């Protein structure tokens, strides 16, 4: 950037999604993705801590990881490995590692269970907030109920959409 005092280089920064600190881009690992080249959302320090936590979990609970081809089902969505690979998200279908199962744990906390990658990402997207997940379930149930029995979609007016009570399944 050109200033009155000469040329000044802008430092590119990024906010870590774990420690919430804004750091220079050099503090983030570079990764290649199917979507293009990106930097990770965790800074190198947080990623290292997370990797160490995961190594401890793998050491202690690694024997619980389902074997390829087993009929283990995700405790959240109820799908097995074959269903995830055939009808899962594009992430699971096209991943180079095809990692269907992951160790679920709260960052900095104990191991909870083995769940599918899709459900793990879903939990993370909701920031592990049970109330937000319940509201999302309420929202889906409400809008799935707004379908006519003959398969025709009932138009949802602004009046109806604005009347969805937050955190309640009592929509009617």
CATH number of the domain within which 31 lies: 3.30.60
Instruction: Check if the beta carbon of residue 13 is closer than 8 Å to that of residue 20.
Output: no
Look at residue 15 and tell me if it is in a domain.
Answer: yes
Structural domain total, the chain: 2
Per residue in 91-118, pLDDT (tens digit) is 554 555 557 888 888 766 788 888 988 8
Mean predicted confidence (pLDDT) in 124-136: 90
Measured CA to CA, the distance from residue 55 to residue 58 in angstroms comes to: 5
Residue 76 burial class via C-beta count within 10 angstroms: exposed 0-12, middle 13-18, buried 19 and up: middle
Look at residue 146 and tell me if it is in a domain.
Answer: yes
Closest among 161, 159, 169, 75 to 114, alpha carbons compared:
75
Domain boundary among the residues 35, 64, 93 is at 64
Q: What is the pLDDT of residue 131?
A: 94
Range of the domain at 18: 1-64
Which tokens go with 57? 């979990």
Measured CA to CA, the distance from residue 133 to residue 112 in angstroms comes to: 18
The predicted model scores a pTM of 0.61
Look at residue 92 and tell me if it is in a domain.
Answer: no
């Amino acid at each position: 950037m050109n200033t009155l005092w000469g040329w000044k280089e802008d430092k590119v920064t990024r906010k870590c999604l774990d420690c919430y600190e804004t750091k220079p881009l050099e503090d983030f690992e570079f990764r290649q993705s199917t979507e293009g080249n990106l930097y990770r959302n965790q800074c190198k320090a947080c990623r290292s801590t997370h990797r160490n936590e995961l190594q401890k979990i793998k050491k202690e609970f690694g024997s619980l990881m389902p074997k390829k081809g087993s009929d283990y089902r995700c405790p959240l969505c109820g799908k097995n490995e074959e269903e995830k690979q055939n009808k899962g998200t594009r992430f699971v279908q096209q991943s180079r590692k095809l990692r269907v199962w992951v160790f679920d744990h709260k960052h900095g906390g104990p191991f909870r269970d083995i769940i599918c990658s899709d459900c793990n990402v879903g939990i993370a997207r909701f920031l592990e907030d049970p109330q937000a997940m319940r509201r999302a379930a309420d929202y889906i149930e409400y809008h799935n109920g707004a379908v006519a029995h003959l398969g025709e979609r009932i138009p949802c007016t602004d009046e109806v959409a604005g009347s969805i009570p937050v955190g309640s399944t009592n929509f009617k």
